[in-house]
Structure 1
């Protein structure tokens, strides 16, 4: 019923796949209006104008749905792993570069409201551990979604993050990483409207790795955001970008 089609989300990014560039002045956010991107940094009425906003950080981008305040997909380009900085900070933050109407109301942990859910990140902090400023931008709530704790820490999502680290060494021209969510019809875990302004908890998560040198995709299917999605159930596949975009709503 509320299924967000993967092909539709990727189409918003295409043909600018992996186009994120370093931002010396921090994050800037832009609205999507009839495919024309206009600067809306510090514009607090952006929700009255558009449904989607793209926020560019130094090293990654996030697209958000303003009415639901949910980050839908993140994208970044990573090279070989050359970082080992301490990224253990749990200091989550509201993004001052985006208005209140388009993002979550609180930087409190989700477990402080209902136990069993982590502050899950679409853009993994470990992928940016060569630069602390860039890594800490993943702590913005604009990059955060409600994620079942076991799925995040030990399950399929954690396995998907490990696969990103492993495959980044394969592509000399960089590996583009997309991480996103799917909203279905399950409302039993939609606990965070009053506390954070989040209309829904994601039902599934997916990750797509695009090897620019080979033009191939390494993708994981939309894994369920619950305890049953253990690392062992993760299904990996390789396909062309065109095949994935025409695969529908997986």
Structure 2
């Protein structure tokens, strides 16, 4: 367990969930790690009820699971989980990119360009956590720019698991500086209103590294 952190007593379960979420997504809490309400309550200086509410929230996001009689554990994504998230992401991102290209406006274009620049800057610095966060925020913005409320709701159901998957894919790159620039063609397609191109590029994006990650996970599982 990472070093002790203190949460403002006014923030309660939401802030507790936010901190635990970042610890999971960043890898500071490893997959399969056991979590107990008593230890977390002591670490964060909050009540066990606050911790329990936070863990239930993270459970709804698919980041932790409750183990009968023993507490909680951080999810461990296996090859089947990765395959499902990979294919679901391609469908959702493809539709979002198409719709964003069809309805892009000056205000949305500025937001997209800014998100792209943040991703490129994070890639140049090379911090894996910042790259994964900027990558996720970039794609989440495209979903928001789609203007499709139900698409956004479906994306939100698995977005934290998708964050974990994106971080896993990004970690497979040997050249972090190119991660940001790999999004340039997608940005150009959306800004130019090329709906067909935007959908195709979004579906193809990260396909190579996602497929490689799943293949490696399946191989490791078969050898276990």
RCO greater where, 1 or 2, for CA within 8 Å and sep 6 or more? 2
Return the index of the structure with the highest Cα Rg: 2
Could you state the TM-score of these two structures normalised by the residue count of structure 1? 0.28
Higher share of residues assigned strand: 1
